[in-house]
Structure 1
């Protein structure tokens, strides 16, 4: 299960959005047999990395270390997908992978994972934090309108470059 990061608070603690994504992953993980959690996200404005904060939350909820593979280099969704797809390929993972994120972000996460060759499905998203205002909710939803096709185009370009490079090397 790939858990997509979100910003941390200035003190390094998980934001409500990040905590909600981890709780959603944990809720689904309880229904799966031996899930592998891949929290992804680098260091943003406030450290530690988003992946480190999520891994700590997973451990606090009883997830064993061998079920957590941190990806702490990615600075955005596309980089997270590319890094997580590489981790899954290296582990020769062929089954479905659940993407855990906020409802507004899930379509982009799932699409990019599928373009990267991962059999992705959306995890049930967490509820929107009660503290979030309608303007903020709409900001994040509308932000996805240009982000989804932009990241999809960048993913397709990355795939084309990789194929070209393979042809040159063979």
Structure 2
């Protein structure tokens, strides 16, 4: 057996297949991903994905940009509600409260903010948005590098989704964006497997108050 040739073929396959899957997700969501707020068609609700908080409980710059985009959409009347979805699985880590507080400080009423404290991943956030919150149509807000997967996953979960991508390359450190982009490259492959093959239930299925686990 020609082992060098076999290894070369396996190496090429391991690159070509992920490249093809990423290209597919990018292409099928292209027409419904927007870069400017003014381009986003009116939607019933915006879904904002968590992206980390500092030790003092304030949003990281990446998360603040996402929430700010939702606030701007809300103030322009492009959305009526905002769903903050993120990680509050442990008592000392609360993404969604940081997101909600940031929006309320800028005049978004608490009554127009929904909180999903068990949005532990893009897949779980979209799953819970549709099944728990009954969302059927929304604009999904995240950085541009993550947006194709988010929109694709939302659609596969039954949400008629469009996306608003906030800036990333040129805004955040190049080494950080290189890492995030490579990780996203592989995350797209995992997402396709989840939505088309395994369809796993989320870690938490029903309502969740935060800071404790359980279904």
By the TM > 0.5 criterion, same fold?
Answer: yes
Secondary structure in 2 matching 1:37:
strand
Contact map agreement 1:12 1:46 (CA 8 A) in 2? no
Q: 1:140 to 1:62 in 2, by over 3 A?
A: same
The CA RMSD over aligned residues, in Å, is 2.4
Greater share of strand:
2
Question: Structure 1: which 5+ runs fail to align?
Answer: 162-170
CA distance in 2, matches of 1:48, 1:35: 28
Report Cα offsets for 1:51-89 as digits up to 9, x if no partner. Answer: 111111111111112211100012221111111112342
Partner residue in 1 for 2:195: 155
CA distance in 2, matches of 1:2, 1:41: 10
Q: Structure 2: how far apart are the matches of 1:38 and 1:31?
A: 17
CA distance in 1, matches of 2:98, 2:187: 25
Structure 1 length-normalised TM: 0.81
Q: Which of 175, 184, 191 is residue 144 of structure 1 equivalent to?
A: 184
Size of the alignment, in residue pairs? 156
Higher Rg of the two aligned structures: 2
Q: Retained in 2: the 8 A contact 1:82–1:116?
A: yes
Deviation at 1:13, TM superposition (A): 1.2
Q: 1:120 aligns with which of 149, 161, 175?
A: 161
Give 5+ residue unaligned stretches, structure 2: 1-45, 202-215
Query: Residues of 1 paired with 2:62 and 2:48: CA distance?
Result: 12
Q: 1:54 & 1:116 partners in 2: Cα distance? A: 24
- TM (normalized to structure 2)? 0.65
Contact 2:169 2:177 (C-alpha < 8 Å) held by counterparts:
no
